[in-house]
Amino acid sequence: MRARDVVFVDGVRTPFGKAGPKGIYAQTRADDLVVRVIRELMRRNPQLPPERVGEVAIAATAQTGDQGLTIGRSAAILAGLPRSVPGFAIDRMCAGAMTAVTTVAGEVSQGAADIAIAGGVEHMGHHPMGEGVDPNPRFLSEQLVDTSALVMGQTAENLHDRFPAVTRERADRYAYHSQRKLAAAYARGKIQPGLVPMAVRSAEQGWGLATADEPPRPGTTLEGLAELKTPFRPHGRVTAGNSAGLNDGATGCVIAAADFAAELGLPARMRLVDYQFAGVDPEVMGIGPVPATEALLARNDLTMDDIGLIEVNEAFAVQVLAFLDHFKVDDEDPRVNPLGGAIAVGHPLASSGVRLMIQLAAELAERPEVRYGITTMCIGLGMGGTVLWENVNA
């Protein structure tokens, strides 16, 4: 059969929380975050018969505890989807949700499913990065990777070494603008439509409702950023202020065949054109989006000038700036993360890919003059991923 066009129908996420005992989700299960997202997607799209969902793919970097047990399948059951709906778990570290989307898109394109739910979750408060991991000693004994490759903050410092034009001052300034853009987006009501309120519980305070992201620091100043310590290297350049934090949260979206979405009266917010993943040296994993994006643009006979919106995950400011420098895009180009990015809103690892898509879809809806947008991110152990989207409103 001929491959079918694949569209992004809808996406939602929980508010992102700060990881740790004082975070809003400290006493909330990771799988309950996913269940809330799935239920909200179904509530928002009543035209979608639950039995027609052909797949549920949920990513988590830590495949254990309350985000283990083949979480795509277990969350589907917990969310009340019919037992006939299959599901699976996926792990590509930070690009987990992005890979969940591209994977189910393949199923939809080939006709194995008409519609699917894809997303990700990370509860870094319950499962700190690297929990339970036992790296093979050959990585270091045979010098397959540098010792810094397994510490993401150190890989960011390595990027500063490789690209001296990306200074601490530039990184801090980029982080400052990310905070300002997110605050402005909240003030204009641009973030709230993509959020689903999440019930939370505290043994001390009882039940509450999370309705907004916890990590943003709208009062951030350049002076304050300049005073922060550099935990990954003495006199380094990577700080808590110019990096994403440790966060909890879940995301999800509905991916469908364009003809099936039209048949059911579901909205098509953007069309998935193509995608690319690429590998790089693990010790400079932040440069991963560059080769992924280069290959994707070349295959589609495009340049960065053809891309009207760029949603790039801000794991570290240096990683974003290295990407922008490579493609000769200005640090404050209005195409880049117009609603703010992960430095401000948070980065719950495997969930972040779909957050990028939610924000891109929202911006494309208001910009019919923009034909193409991308979502792109660096990935631990030396990878990058980029997805090319076409505006159906163009």
CA trace torsion 349, 156, 312, 297 (10° rounding)? -120
Nearest to 145 by CA among 155, 159, 134, 133: 155
Q: Alpha-carbon dihedral of residues 42, 46, 51, 54, nearest 10 degrees?
A: -60
CA 248 to chain centre: 12
Question: Cα separation of 53 and 71, whole Å?
Answer: 16
What phi and psi values does residue 335 have, to the nearest 5 degrees?
-75, -20
Give the Cβ contact number of residue 49 at 10 Å: 11
Please give the positions annotated as active site: 94, 347, 378
Give the 3-state secondary structure of residue 144.
coil
The pair of structure tokens assigned to 163 is: 């690209």
Q: Measured between alpha carbons, how far is 38 from 75 in angstroms, rounded to an integer?
A: 8
Neighbours of 330 (CB within 10 A): 10
Burial class (CB in 10 A: 0-12, 13-18, 19+), 176: buried
Number of separate helices (H) and strands (E) present in the chain = 12, 12
Q: Which amino acid is at 270?
A: M
SS3 of 304-319: the string is HHHEEEEEECCCEHHH
Which of 282, 46, 57 is closest to 156 using CA atoms?
282
CA nearest 309: which of 264, 248, 256, 369?
369
- Burial group, residue 198, by CB count within 10 angstroms (0-12, 13-18, 19+): buried
CB 159 within 8 A of CB 284: yes
Give whole-number Cα distances, 135 to 63, 157, 264, in Å: 15, 22, 47
For 7, 196, 286, 317, the CA distances from 312, given in Å and listed in that order, are 20, 23, 11, 10
